[in-house]
Amino acid sequence: MVPGRFAGAVRLRDRRVFRYAANELRLRRPHRDRASGEVRRDVLRRVPGLHLGEDRVKGILLARKQSKRMKAAICTGFDYSIAFPQVIPMIREAGFEVVALGARPEHSGYATADGRDKIRGLLRLHGMTIDSVHAPFPEGDRLFSLDQSERGESIRQGQVAIDAAEELEGRMVVLHLIQPYDIPHGEVRDRMIEAGRRSVAALADYADRRGVRVALENGQKPDYDEVLAGLLAEFTGAHIGFCYDSGHEHVQGTCFGMLQTFGHRLFTTHIHDNKGADTHVLPYEGTIDWEQFRTVFHGLDYTGNLLLETDIANSEFKVPSLFLSRARECAEWLLRSASKVTHQESVEAA
């Protein structure tokens, strides 16, 4: 998100331009960018009677995107001991309108048709939508395995998540990559990477045919992120992108290099904090520099959701309602552009 210049509502004349363009061209999906859903700039240039320069077209499109306010979202797996039918109303009560289905399908039930029907009913009842579906963990984390049966099962599990994302209109699945960490460079690792490349290609094709996007998540080790970088360089289709996990990068002692490098491919986030171990606590409970995060994050051309992937187990907020309330406060704070926050507000938030 670019603060300042194009922030705020689209000007009246620009809104009229878009309405005119829509009426003239009867805009449907072919006139929209496949990844973002935004009207393509070449469409505006083809509207009869409109003579817009490159800067004008760019300004209208960016202003239109910025007028879509990012929303705070949270993963339903913040406490797997709470039954899913209770989780959804609790999250809604805290003020969230968007959720992501956690990596344990047995909790939400997203792996079965009956379970998906129940999820749909809960979401409709509470006026909520889905940001993304996390592929099963750990069953779906063997995409790079040299055991063909194990790898095949992980692909199947990923396909289940994709089917759920399509049916529940989440339209995005998050995948983990090479596991375990610290596999030494050599023939075995090379073979695993090739196997993983084929797995990701198969899932990407499966997802693309269903209108679902695939977000590849960064990990806790540099060798994992090397693989991620290679895959993002190879798979450049609009349906393949990046899921930024703040806690994973902080475990490595670095922030926010991955976000800056791959921010242009960002599909969603897994925001959480820690003090060097992957504890998934709330922002400001660990040692991540969240003010720097906001500076980087709001400098991106990103209009997706700010999704928290936090866990109550290691948080100081042990009461679920208080945990969710604090999560909402943290998310809303991070959604505010750093350039619009005073020093006093920053001190009070800390």
For residue range 80-96, list pLDDT tens digits in order: 999 999 999 999 999 99
- pLDDT for 179 equals 84
Q: Are 297 and 2 in contact (CB under 8 A)?
A: no
**Highest-pLDDT range among 34-43, 57-66, 217-226:** 217-226
Q: What is the mean pLDDT of residues 104-114?
A: 98
- In CATH terms, the fold of domain 72-349 is TIM Barrel (3.20.20)
- Residue 261: how many other CB atoms lie within 10 Å: 14
- Mean pLDDT, the chain, rounded, equals 85
Q: What is the mean pLDDT of residues 325-332?
A: 98
Share of the chain above pLDDT 70, in %: 77
Q: What is the mean pLDDT of residues 26-39?
A: 46
Phi-psi region of 32 (alpha: psi -120 to 50; beta: other; left: phi over 0): beta
pLDDT exceeds cutoff 90 at 40: no
**Any idea where the domains of the chain sit in the sequence?**
12-66, 72-349
Distance CA 335, CA 304 (A): 11
Share of the chain above pLDDT 90, in %: 73
- pLDDT for 277 equals 97
pLDDT exceeds cutoff 50 at 29: no
- pLDDT for 299 equals 95
pLDDT exceeds cutoff 50 at 344: no
- pLDDT for 4 equals 34
- pLDDT for 42 equals 56
Q: What is the mean pLDDT of residues 36-42?
A: 51
pLDDT exceeds cutoff 60 at 350: no
Tokens of 274: 């820690």
pLDDT exceeds cutoff 70 at 345: no
* DSSP H stretches of helix in the chain: 12-25, 41-45, 54-66, 84-93, 105-108, 113-126, 148-167, 187-208, 222-234, 246-251, 257-262, 290-297, 320-335, 343-349
Distance CA 104, CA 92 (A): 20
